Amino acid sequence: MTTRSSRAAGRAAAGRPAAPAESPQARPPIFAAPGSLLATLPPPVAALAVFAIVGAAIALVRAGSVIFNPILLALFLTTLTLPAVRALQRRGLPLRAAQAAAIVLLMVGGVALVAVVGFSLNHVASELLSLRAQIAASVDGLLATMGDNASHLGARAAALFTLIVNTAGRALGNVVYALFLSVFMLLEAPTFGRLLAGPLKELPFLGVVPRTMDATVQFMGVRAILNAIVALGFILLLWAAGIEYALLWGLLAFVLGFIPYIGLPVAAAPPVLLALSQGGLRLALIVAGSIVVVNFLVEYVAAPALTGKSLSLSPAVVLVSFFFWMFILGAMGALFAVPLTVWLLYTFDCYASTRWAAAIIGGRGK
């Protein structure tokens, strides 16, 4: 001890200070926060680094979309079911009893929906070849009467019909898996809720999950009411017009109605094509016109009074996010486009360096 003290005193006397003890502040920037590391880089290099990281994350999620889609759908179903659990608890039910009741409600409704849609899709699949031929012939005949010999459009219309039917069938498999996964998520929801309110609260992306879930419930709850009105109008209209599988197209309109601006036109395509093949141009125009009227009344009369501006998303951003998430997650990405975009909006709004992105997504010119 005396030798070490004398050496240190000798160095100090010689003008050479003793080596300081290592502290967290003295660590290299690579061990600091990511923002501090990027701050040490020139702006072009930092921008390229961010783009590289984001691009790698997008590629990873896209490659694993087969795994991520059922998980996201289960999280989506769990988010929509949690308010029922809380409502039952407010009425005096214990937590486990409220969870059990909500699970039974979810499973009964989900299995009934899967059964009805699956049964209808099986019927459509059994007649798919004849339906394709009828649609192609009807479109080609309509174009021929107009002096247009673009016969390939008939095949494309038939292919569009087949694509929508096949995509609905594939999505049905995800729903079955997601229903069972959501049961376990509901049982573990209180634990995850405590983690998100405690240790995970300050973490990027995870800290805004509760706020995103609340916004999703608010948005989806209102949309469910509006979509139910649209679906009922679809079913009654198509049944009155004699269009085959009216119940299937009504349920499809209900699900795709959660996709703003684009969902309903996609849902209307199959029944309009069937109307063209069954009753000609006049019936197709009646069906299409009636769908437009129903959509106008719901979207521009009922929706503004119910939804307001709760999500504060720019319409242009909603459309871009639709294609962006569909590119990453496939067809299921269209359903998750709004909740995932709101999640990014809330995350970007938490940090001063990314509030400009939140302002763009939210359509707030600051």
Q: Which of 257, 224, 260 is nearest to 109 (CA)?
A: 224
Q: Tokens representing 45?
A: 């290099």
Residue 52 has phi, psi (to 5 degrees) of -65, -45
Residue 32 gets which letter from DSSP? S
Residue 141 in any domain: the answer is yes
Phi-psi label, residue 15: left if phi above 0, alpha if psi -120 to 50, beta otherwise: left
Confidence of residue 13 (pLDDT cuts 50, 70, 90): very low
Q: What value does the mean pLDDT take over residues 195-205?
A: 73
Whether residues 159 and 89 share a domain: the answer is yes
Say what the pLDDT of residue 39 is.
Answer: 62
Q: Are residues 108 and 97 in the same domain?
A: yes
Q: Specify whether 324 is located in the same domain as 276.
A: no
Tokens at 301, concatenated: 């009369």
**Are both 128 and 258 inside the same structural domain?**
no
Q: Are residues 252 and 203 in the same domain?
A: no
Query: What range defines the domain where residue 188 resides?
Result: 67-207
Does the pLDDT of residue 192 top 70, yes or no? yes
Read off the DSSP letter of residue 313: -
Q: What is the pLDDT of residues 252-263, one digit of tens each?
A: 888 888 887 788
How many CB atoms sit inside 10 A of residue 6's CB? 10
Instruction: Check whether residue 184 and residue 93 sit in a common domain.
Output: yes
**In the chain, how many domains are there?**
3
Question: Does one domain contain both 118 and 146?
Answer: yes
Report H helices in the chain. 2-13, 34-39, 43-63, 65-90, 95-126, 128-145, 152-197, 209-241, 246-256, 263-297, 303-307, 315-329, 331-348, 355-362
Report if residue 4 sits inside a domain. no
Looking at residue 22, the DSSP 8-state letter turns out to be P
**Res 202 pLDDT > 80:** no
Q: Determine, yes or no, domain membership for 58.
A: no
Nearest-angstrom CA–CA distance, 75 and 196: 15
For the cut 70, the answer to whether the pLDDT of residue 24 exceeds it is no
pLDDT at site 100? 92
Q: What is the pLDDT of residue 174?
A: 82
Whether the pLDDT of residue 51 is over 80: the answer is no
* CA 73/CA 5 separation, integer angstroms: 66
What is the pLDDT averaged over residues 80-93? 88
Residue 228 pLDDT > 60: yes
At 118, is the pLDDT very low, low, confident or very high (cuts 50, 70, 90)?
Answer: confident
Q: Do residues 298 and 232 both lie within one domain?
A: yes
For 27-41, 92-106, 212-226, which range has the lowest pLDDT when averaged over its residues?
A: 27-41
Cα–Cα distance for residue pair 119/131, rounded to 1 Å? 17
Token digits of residue 317: 């951003």
Identify whether 184 is part of a domain.
Answer: yes
The better pLDDT of the pair 42, 230 is held by 230
Judged against a pLDDT cut of 50, whether residue 30 lies above it is answered with no
Last residue of a domain, one of 207, 229, 247: 207
pLDDT > 50? residue 27:
no
pLDDT of residue 104: 92
- The stretch 39-52 carries a mean pLDDT of 71
Give the model's pLDDT for residue 11.
47
Are residues 170 and 241 located together in one domain of the fold?
no
Average pLDDT of the segment spanning 130-151: 73
Residue of higher predicted confidence among 152 and 232: 232
The answer as to whether 114 is a domain residue is yes
Query: Does 19 score more than 50 pLDDT?
Result: no
Q: How confident is the model at residue 101 (pLDDT cuts 50, 70, 90)?
A: very high
259 lies in some domain: yes
User: Do 102 and 192 share a domain, yes or no?
Assistant: yes
Convert 249-310 into a string of H (helix), E (strand) and C (coil).
Answer: HHHHHHHHCCCCCCHHHHHHHHHHHHHHHHHHHHHHHHHHHHHHHHHHHHHHHHHHHHHCCC
232 within domain boundaries: yes
Q: Is the pLDDT of residue 31 over 60?
A: no
Q: 294, 310, 326: which is the final residue of a domain?
A: 310
Where does a domain end: 183, 207, 231?
207
Range name among 95-109, 152-166, 304-318 with the lowest pLDDT average? 304-318
pLDDT at 28: 37
Helix axes 152-197, 128-145, angle to 10 degrees: 120
What's the chain's average pLDDT?
77
Q: Is the pLDDT of residue 243 over 70?
A: yes
Question: What is the spatial distance between Cα 41 and Cα 52, in angstroms, rounded to a whole number?
Answer: 15
Q: Both tokens of residue 81?
A: 């079911």
* 185 and 145 assigned to the same domain: yes
Residue 259 and residue 342 in one domain: no
3-state class (DSSP) for residue 173 = helix
Percentage with pLDDT > 90 across the chain: 3
Rounded percentage of the chain residues whose pLDDT exceeds 70: 82
Instruction: Give one word for 229, left, alpha or beta, with left for phi > 0 and alpha for psi -120 to 50.
Output: alpha
pLDDT of residue 305: 64
Residue 350 lies in a domain: yes
Residue reference for tokens 């699949």: 125
